Amino acid sequence: MERQIKKAIKSFRDLDVYQNTYKASVVVAASILPKLPKHEKYDLHNQLSRSSKAIPRLIAEGFAKKHQKFGFQKYLDDAMGECNETIVSLEHVKDIYKIEVDLCKELVDTYDKSARQLFNLAEAWDSFKNRRRKTKPINDTGRHLVSRLNVERDAV
């Protein structure tokens, strides 16, 4: 089995889960939403549009708050919830209206995988943020120089 080389994450755009949910939201907007009946405009259409677009937005916003103790976690949890909402809406599209059935199944799989990726990312981030320092920090604050200067000053 080949070992996958992981690239450094410098931006939310580097996260696979962001890339996958962004692409899926574009597919939903372009291929599913226009085919929904007009009477669903303020219900299923609106909900599916909002939930599918919210996921990559939440990942991006949360990544900006990664320095906060629980900032990133909250946004990842919210994105998982939006994945679940999107799955339910896509299943409604598939089961009630029989629109793009195979595509809906594929998108449900994508959002299900994304929810699991978000969970794993949240777990990994929690471990990362709560890890204990294994080496003692170097006490190079310059405090010993200040003390010596004070002693020399007092001696003058």
Per residue in 80-93, pLDDT tens? 999 999 999 999 99
Residue 79: per-residue pLDDT: 98
Domains observed in the chain: 12-132 (1.20.1440.60)
- Mean pLDDT (whole number) for 6-15: 89
Residue 133: per-residue pLDDT: 45
Whole-angstrom distance, CA of residue 27 vs CA of residue 69: 34
- Asked whether residue 2 carries a pLDDT value surpassing 70, the answer given is no
Amino acid, res. 111: Y
Per residue in 130-141, pLDDT tens? 755 455 555 555
Whole-angstrom distance, CA of residue 102 vs CA of residue 108: 10
Residue 131: per-residue pLDDT: 58
At 24, list the tokens.
């899926």
Per residue in 44-67, pLDDT tens? 999 999 999 999 999 999 999 988
Q: What are phi and psi of 151, to 5 degrees?
A: -65, -45
- CA gyration radius, the chain: 24
Say if pTM beats, i.e. exceeds, 0.85: no
